Chains A and B, each alone.
Chain A
């Protein structure tokens, strides 16, 4: 797991955007992951798993990397 930008404040050990591991029951979805972290969709706008943005019902596979972003933009 990685929490980017101002979501870093939700890091379970207060370490910002440092990666960490999260254990979830088999068959958990992106929405389950956000619920586990206490994150609403207003804050967690985009969840990338294996280099693609995934919808809430996407089922997570064992050992995959997930990255969560708040609304971001730039140029």
Chain B
């Protein structure tokens, strides 16, 4: 029997209930988005007692399916004012699923300045005062949790930014070695937990019953097909690009395509790209030795291993992980080409508990406003220090790029629905712009990663500067992604299954094997549509209508070098996405 944990922060009560029948067979984003739609009044204040935070491991999480250790976190976003699903890979959801928990819902609010720790085991949970954790950075808080609850425990944490209810605050989960480094970063759900007074969750999975597929043979058949696809595809196999160079292998290719947003989206080319690339990371790991490594997995069962550990010059650990998005946001987007400065900015983000993308986009806007010079790493580090010190400027920056730009009268603010754009320039890659503009999440590349065919020649090849059929392309990607986000699979399985049909079959078979269902390939799109529509409907009820499905205006009239294009998919064409 799959169960739901309800954590009432107003009454400090924890109740375990059976998962309602209407949610049977759902997981991940499917479950968080339907539960949020069902239970959260769309008009509520995101930081008030009527908002909820829903945690849900994917359908396959906790099984032996490869790369299936993802958790979705949902709620109403204080950054966008709309529905949010943000996900992360960690051992945490694998344990949670094996303990029999399909979802954990945090509701109500402590109503005072207290901080609480949820201790969860197979018999239920208990809220205890989060002694010694208040205002602690995530690294120190993780060390305290480890000391009090043992080396093996899995945890979730928010940082000081979440406690201060800043809209760029994310939610950290432990990696395999216990670092607070795996983030459901986007959309400010860390601030929602902060508003409720929940600082941390620790899991004790002693006696966990585990997860049993309904049809073992079908599950195993599907698993083998997916494993084969991952291990044979050039980008996901061992020694392939992701494993050898990490996601930051994209820095150079986006730069060569003229689509790497640079200095707050003023150019698509960064002259310092090579210095912050995956190739530079690999070279640093080789030269510096010590703690530095490539090919790190974020959870057991990940066979791609795209994560890394970056070492200081003396070989000591500086930070894990330097992702493409983080290296771009805090590097190229701020004009910073010093990898040690980028690493320190990422470490600070992790410690404060903030989204590296929103932080980097905000710093870019702050530089535009004259708070620091582009390229000045030490000044960027000081600006993040303002967030840590919770100064008035820190509170302002902590609300994100849109808020910061507005405060300083900046017109070049690269956001959609209040959320900062990720590392692909819409004026140079038109399809990803459709995803940013139409996704119910606000600007989010993972919602429909058209970069695969537009830049990487994965899943076909499409001309990035062309506007033709890009709405349909984004729609197809967004539907499939909503399904993948529900399975617990890492989105990077999309690369092999786009190119290798048996890999896609394997995904559907593992889901059917797990649930005893008879889904076909066509059902993948139908399920994705159901999820997207529920999210869209929530947003409409929250007052976020088609009028918000627009690019930032400056992208309509400022030509972006080197291609000198504006964003030229019309409003009418964009509206076709939902019509």
Determine the interface band of chain B, counting residues with CB < 8 A from chain A: 35 or more
Within 41-71 of A, Cβ neighbours of B (below 8 Å) are at 45-46, 48, 51-53, 67, 69-71
Q: Which residues of A contact B563 (CB under 8 A)?
A: 51
Q: How many Å lie between the Cα of A46 and that of B455 in the bound state?
A: 9
Asked if B492 is at the interface of the complex by the 8 Å CB criterion, the answer is yes
In angstroms, Cα B249 to Cα A71, docked, is 10
Which A residues touch B274, using CB under 8 A?
17
Complex Cα–Cα for A71 and B498 (A): 14
Is the Cβ of A17 less than 8 Å from the Cβ of B449?
no
Contact B253 A46 (CB under 8 A): yes
Give min CB distance, B245 to chain A, whole Å: 6
* Contact A48–B234 (Cβ < 8 Å): no
Given A5-B278, A45-B457: A75 in contact with B253 (beta carbons within 8 A): no
Q: Does A74 contact B (CB under 8 A)?
A: yes
Task: Check if B562 sits within 8 Å of A71, measured CB to CB.
Answer: no
How far apart sit A71 and B445, CA to CA, in the bound complex (Å)?
Answer: 20
Given A17-B274, A51-B563, A75-B324, does the pair A46, B244 have CB atoms closer than 8 Å?
Answer: no
List, in ascending order, chain B residues with CB within 8 A of A5's CB: 241, 244-245, 249, 252, 278-279
> How long is the Cα–Cα vector from A51 to B242 in the complex, in angstroms?
23
Q: Does B279 lie within 8 Å of A8, measured CB to CB?
A: yes
Q: Which residues of A contact B455 (CB under 8 A)?
A: 53
Residue B458 at the chain A interface, CB threshold 8 Å:
yes
Give B387 Cβ to nearest chain A Cβ, in Å.
25
Taking a contact as CB atoms under 8 Å apart, the answer to whether A16 and B283 are in contact is yes
CA–CA, A67 to B457, complex, Å? 15
- Whether B325 contacts A70 by the Cβ 8 Å rule is no
Choice from B239, B242, B257, B277 contacting A53 with Cβ under 8 Å: B257
Say yes or no: is B250 at the interface (Cβ < 8 Å to chain A): yes
Q: Residues of A contacting B248 with CB < 8 Å?
A: 74
Tell me whether A72 is interfacial, beta carbon within 8 Å. Answer: yes
User: Which parts of A1-46 form the interface with B (CB within 8 Å)?
Assistant: 2, 4-6, 8, 16-17, 45-46
Selected contact of B244 from candidates A6, A45, A51, A67, CB within 8 Å: A6
Q: Cα distance A74–B495 when bound, in Å? A: 9
* Bound Cα distance A73, B244 (Å): 11
Q: Are A72 and B250 in contact (CB under 8 A)?
A: yes
Give B258-274 interface residues, CB cut-off 8 Å to A.
Answer: 258, 268-269, 274
> Does B247 belong to the interface (CB within 8 Å)?
yes
B235: A residues at CB distance < 8 A: 71-73
- With A4-B279, A5-B244, A6-B241 as known contacts, state yes or no: A71 contacts B256, CB within 8 Å: no
- Contact yes or no, A52 B492, CB < 8 A: no
CB distance from A42 to the nearest CB of B (A): 8
Q: Is B19 an interface residue (CB 8 A)?
A: no
Bound CA span A71–B461, Å: 13
A65's nearest neighbour on chain B, judged by CB, is B256
* Chain A residues, Cβ within 8 Å of B495: 73
**Chain B residues with Cβ under 8 A from A46's Cβ?**
253, 456-457
Interface residue from A4, A52, A74 paired with B306 (Cβ < 8 Å) = A74
A-B contact sample (5 more), CB < 8 A, given A17-B274, A73-B235, A74-B246:
A16-B283, A17-B252, A48-B253, A51-B269, A75-B250
- A selection of 28 A-B contacts at a CB cut-off of 8 Å is A4-B253, A5-B244, A5-B252, A5-B278, A6-B241, A8-B279, A17-B274, A46-B456, A51-B257, A51-B269, A51-B562, A53-B457, A53-B461, A67-B252, A69-B252, A69-B253, A70-B234, A71-B456, A72-B456, A73-B236, A73-B242, A73-B458, A74-B241, A74-B242, A74-B247, A74-B249, A75-B325, A75-B491
Chain B residues near A (Cβ < 8 Å)? 234-236, 239-242, 244-250, 252-253, 256-258, 268-269, 274, 277-279, 283, 306, 324-325, 445-446, 449, 452, 455-458, 461, 465, 491-492, 495, 562-563
Q: Which 10 A-B pairs have CB atoms at the shortest separation, nearest pair first?
A: A74-B247, A71-B234, A51-B258, A73-B235, A74-B250, A48-B256, A72-B241, A67-B256, A74-B324, A73-B495
